[in-house]
């Protein structure tokens, strides 16, 4: 076994001056607030969002269904879990009426009393429709409703698409960290 290091940025959005404008998303999308009966839908959406992405190398649990299920269970059982900032997005096909879930975000309160986004994922076929922006908007609204004055997250430096999105929404890098990951050498 060897170890590889992934550069990650901690980012923060100051909410004291308010929030960026609510993005418009097409009407076939709908949102569901956290409910423990939705754990399977969150887990599956997380898996389909992350499985081919860089973060599935950084956090191996994100690359498989069981890992995503375990992670969702762990997050939602934490005493600092923030259900009001944990959102699922569904899509209803206008022709067939068929529903699939395509966006998920979860959050906890950190020990500095900030809202901390744990994972945000949009499935590949639904990207570029402002769903990511919308998920962050709703999570931040949840933070404000809890009286929290800042939102934080961590992003892998190579994840340029996510990084650009966060910067565009006003997040600023506060720290650079390195995540050690064990890799097989054969």
Ligand X SMILES: CC(C)(COP(=O)(O)OP(=O)(O)OC[C@H]1O[C@@H](n2cnc3c(N)ncnc32)[C@H](O)[C@@H]1OP(=O)(O)O)[C@@H](O)C(=O)NCCC(=O)NCCS
- CB neighbours of 186 closer than 8 A, spacing ≥ 6? none
Q: Per-residue string for binding with ligand X, 38-57, x by CB under 6 A? A: -----------xx--x-x--
As a 3-state breakdown, the chain gives helix, strand, coil percent values, each rounded to 5, of 35, 35, 30
Nearer CB in complex with ligand X: 106/147: 106
Give, as one character, the DSSP assignment of residue 51: T
21: contact with ligand X by CB under 6 A: no
Bridge partner list, 3: 182
Binds ligand X by CB under 6 A, chosen from 61, 72, 89, 131: 131
Closest by Cα among 3, 4, 12, 16 to 149 = 16
Q: Per-residue string for binding with ligand X, 150-179, x by CB under 6 A? A: -----x---x-xx-xx--x-----------
Q: Which residues bind ligand X (CB under 6 A)?
A: 49-50, 53, 55, 120-122, 127-133, 155, 159, 161-162, 164-165, 168
């Amino acid at each position: 076994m060897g170890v590889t290091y992934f550069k990650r940025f901690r980012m923060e959005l100051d909410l004291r001056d308010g929030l960026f404008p609510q993005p418009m998303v097409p009407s076939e999308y709908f949102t569901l607030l956290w409910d423990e009966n939705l754990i399977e839908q969150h887990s599956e959406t997380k898996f389909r969002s992350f499985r081919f992405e860089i973060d599935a190398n950084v956090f191996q649990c994100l690359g498989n269904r069981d890992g995503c299920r375990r992670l969702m269970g762990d997050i939602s059982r934490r005493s600092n879990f923030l259900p009001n900032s944990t959102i699922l997005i569904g899509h209803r096909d206008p022709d067939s009426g068929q529903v699939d879930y395509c966006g998920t975000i979860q959050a906890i309160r950190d020990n500095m009393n900030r809202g901390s986004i744990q994972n945000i994922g949009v499935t590949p076929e639904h990207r570029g429709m402002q769903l990511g922006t919308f998920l962050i908007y709703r999570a931040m609204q949840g933070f404000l409703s809890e009286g929290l004055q800042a939102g934080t997250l961590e992003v892998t430096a190579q994840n340029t698409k996510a990084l650009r999105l966060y910067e565009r929404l006003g997040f600023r890098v506060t720290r650079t960290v390195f995540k050690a990951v064990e890799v097989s050498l054969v």
